[in-house]
Amino acid sequence: MYAITLKEFGGPENMEWTEVPDPEAGPGEVVIDVAATAVNRADLLQRQGNYPPPPGASEILGLECSGRIAEVGEGVETWRVGDEVCALLAGGGYATKVKVPAVQVLPVPDGVDLVTAGSLPEVACTVWSNVVSHGALKAGETFLVQGGSSGIGTHAIQVAKALGARVAATAGSPDRLQACLDLGADIAIDYHDDIAEQLKKATDGHGADVILDNMGAKGLPNNVAALASDGRLMVIGMQGGVKAELNLGVLLSKRASVTAMGLRGRPVEGPNSKALVVAGVREEIWPMFADGRVKPIVHARFPLRDAAEAHRMLDAGGVVGKLLLVNE
């Protein structure tokens, strides 16, 4: 098979299209002929040497894919060769074939084509685990997503609206703010402004019941200020650093919580596992695609072998939704 490999850590110029050994399905695993994968911010971090894969995971970039099952390992009864699927990966998606635990595989949702489905598993699993499961967002609550025009942000806006929440989103330009509104956001805030102040103005002082944040340290004080009483801040990224001062007095007065949850390093099965997340997505998020409440948002498509160009585009900024890598 062929895959995008790294000559060394650094810029996109270190990515190359090379022949590598085919994967083989072990017990409980399947091999997928990849139709498409997508670029995630974590891929850029791994390319730079700042986000190593978990022990035992593929060194090849790529945290999701879609395609057709080519091989089924011992003990797998839920999938058959030829099934059209998409999957959450710990690595290996930037390749023509990938092996993955069968419990991390999903059917292509109704209303979505096979190639476009390659853009869904990572965002759907991230949003479901943080916003729906742990964050417990309810109808009538206010939800704030930082970076609303990102892949995760565009998905989170739609899911929160489908759940009946009032949605606020941040972005850094008029075009991207409008994109958030077009997807259903009720409030759009320029992230160069004081986000907590703007949100409270827009919500009559209430703030956010749930916040989904990808910045980490840089945004922590303002996110805590933006929380409503009993609010839940869900941190999923560290683009703004890893260390910040946390005012426990403000948290105590609001009975609020701050939770940081990764997805890639979860166990495959058992408590808090990827298997449980994938099952939750299939039960609660996939019907939203089937009835049209949620749609994939793809900014651009690239041939898989041109993944470096997609990385350059995401690095440059201005992307709304996902960048898809298609195995042509």
CATH code of the domain covering residue 248: 3.40.50.720
Please say which residue of 211, 234, 260 terminates a domain: 260
Question: What are the residues facing 143 on neighbouring strands?
Answer: 167, 210
Q: What is the pLDDT of residue 54?
A: 92
Residue that is last in its domain, among 206, 237, 260: 260
- CATH number of the domain bearing residue 308: 3.90.180.10
Q: Are 316 and 230 found together in one domain? A: no
- Separation of alpha carbons 57 and 263, rounded Å: 13
Same domain as 136, residue 252: yes
Percentage of residues in the chain with pLDDT exceeding 90? 95
Same domain for 278 and 256, yes or no, is: no
Q: Looking at the structure, do residues 312 and 197 belong to the same domain, yes or no?
A: no
With a cut of 90, say whether residue 109 has pLDDT above it.
yes
In this prediction, residue 35 carries a pLDDT of 98
Say whether both 89 and 163 belong to one domain. no
Are both 226 and 162 inside the same structural domain? yes
- Number of structural domains found in the chain: 2
Residues 237, 254: one domain? yes
Mean pLDDT, residues 268-280: 97
Where are any strands of DSSP class E within the chain? 2-6, 15-19, 29-39, 64-72, 84-88, 97-101, 105-107, 142-145, 166-171, 187-190, 208-213, 227-235, 257-260, 298-303, 322-326
Q: Provide the domain limits for residue 92.
A: 2-120+265-326
**Same structural domain, 255 and 301:** no
Q: Are 139 and 32 contained in the same domain?
A: no
Q: Within a 10 A sphere around the Cβ of 292, how many other Cβ atoms?
A: 10
Residue 242 pLDDT exceeds 90? no
Q: Which of 217, 244, 260 is the last residue of a domain?
A: 260
* Both structure tokens of 156: 């989170």
The lowest-confidence range among 107-111, 126-130, 240-244 is: 240-244
pTM value is 0.96
